[in-house]
Amino acid sequence: MKFFVDSADVKEIRELSELGLVDGVTTNPSLILKSGGSIADVTREICSIVAGPVSAEVVATDYDGMMREAAFLGGLADNVCIKVPMTFDGLKACRALTAQGRKVNVTLCFSANQALLAAKAGAAFISPFIGRVDDIGLDGMELIAEIRQIYDNYDFGTEVLAASVRTVNHVKQAALIGADVVTVPPATLKALVKHPLTDKGLDAFLADWAKTGQKIA
């Protein structure tokens, strides 16, 4: 499974990238707002840190506007992946951008049918929103499983990018189902390493080692 960081915080992205844990980054207008920087400057800096795809989202809702914004965003760095909404105009833009050789991430996916359309349009990634599906009383992980089965049925190359991840359990479940990618906030990615028994075991080892009076090197 690939790990993308869902953030526009350059400092946190750099820290995680230096650990070798980052395969890509996803941003959106809300994350750009939170960063306090311009979309051009923030996107360029992230792309200089991460070698993998960095999703930068268009905000136009019409096809022509999406294509203009995609041209601008795509010109910022070679590893920019254009993020478009799951709409008819978004799918049209996806098809056109894919034909140009550009990677496209279709976002705001909430159904298997939408994911099927995105794959038909040639999307590199589909972003089903697990947490937001859970919020309305449905099962976000069931959506991931449905998309995985459909894509496997027809050998689609579109990667399932589990998004709107709220918990470390979401990450585990997405991995068990077979999502290709999970995009997570920095805090969630860091939380994956945590387990109380690891901490307890380390404390015990260190206490016993101190009693030996020894040093290593």
Cβ neighbours, 10 Å, residue 216: 4
pLDDT at 104: 98
Low-confidence spans in the chain with pLDDT less than 50: none
Active site residue 11: no
pLDDT at 205: 97
pLDDT at 46: 98
Domain topology for 2-212: TIM Barrel (3.20.20)
169/131 Cα distance (integer angstroms): 12
CB-based burial of residue 95 (10 Å sphere; 0-12 exposed, 13-18 middle, 19+ buried)?
Answer: middle
Beta bridge partners of 52: none
pLDDT at 61: 98
Give the residue among 155, 157, 97, 149 at the shortest CA–CA distance from 126.
157
103/97 Cα distance (integer angstroms): 7
User: Which residue in 83, 92, 190, 194 is the catalytic one?
Assistant: 83
